[in-house]
Amino acid sequence: MRSSNLKIRLIIGVCIAAYFGFKYFTSQEVNPYTGKKQAISMTVDEEIQMGLQSRDQMAAQHGGLYPNESFQALVDNVGNKLISNSIAKETPYRYEFHLLADPQTINAFALPGGQVFITYALFSQLENEDQLAGVLGHEIGHVLGKHSAERIANSELWQGLSTAGSVGGDIGGLIGGVGQNLILKNGRGDELESDDLGVRFMLRAGYDPEEMIDVMEILKAAAGPNRVPEFQSSHPDPDNRIEKIRESIEKYRSQFQ
């Protein structure tokens, strides 16, 4: 009886794994804006709706919008300039830029579909418009790179495989741990790709991409000496990002002169 139950569990586990594997590999597509092959489990309209539905909640978590129309207008102008001078204008996404009131959290982020946020804590640290363009260009890169949608698809795969492992045996936790490490590694790749796209956007819009390096120094200082080691984080170490940004500047500068 025990052997029979184990056999049934193994069959069920294999079926679950096969389903999620098939779903993942049949959802792969080439991103028309980056040329990268990705697994995407949602449509563009679903990305846009997800961003719109989460927009107000995310703003509320950071104290709402910063109550200064001129600062918000600057964020809008820089963001829209980056869009209008890059491939981003050819995407179906509805880009909106939001300056959040949060005075403590030095951060910027993007939701699927084009919702881009920067906290006042980071905004107030920036020294010029070019640095603001570096921040917003990076976040536009996340949207255009479909990074949130790709991460959702990857999470669905590894959660499914972890469930299959738990049903079929006792390796669900091991599979989940492997998946988490791979998702973190992919996240670091997403950050570097967004930095690379940000450099391209800045150059096309007439901004100095060298200023993105100064933004990295601001983020490095904000993290302090006790920042999370790179292998435990979804973000690359700032020093590694600076090195890659310099490579991107060298790669693209001659194309836009």
Q: What is the mean pLDDT of residues 164-168?
A: 57
Closest of 209, 214, 216 to residue 241, by C-alpha: 216
The phi-psi region of residue 118 (left if phi > 0; otherwise alpha if psi is between -120 and 50; otherwise beta) is beta
Measured at the CA of 184, the angle between CA 181 and CA 189, to 5 degrees, comes to 130
27 versus 221: the higher-pLDDT residue is 221
Residue entry with tokens 């703003």: 59
Confidence of residue 161 (pLDDT cuts 50, 70, 90): low
Domain boundaries, the chain: 2-256
Average pLDDT of every residue of the chain: 83
Confidence of residue 256 (pLDDT cuts 50, 70, 90): low
Which pTM value belongs to this model? 0.81
pLDDT in tens, 81-97: 999 999 999 999 999 99
Rounded CA separation 130/164 (Å): 49
Rounded CA separation 234/227 (Å): 12
107 versus 253: the higher-pLDDT residue is 107
pLDDT number for residue 178: 42
184 versus 58: the higher-pLDDT residue is 58
pLDDT number for residue 9: 62
pLDDT in tens, 16-75: 666 556 666 667 888 888 888 988 888 999 999 999 999 999 999 999 999 999 999 999
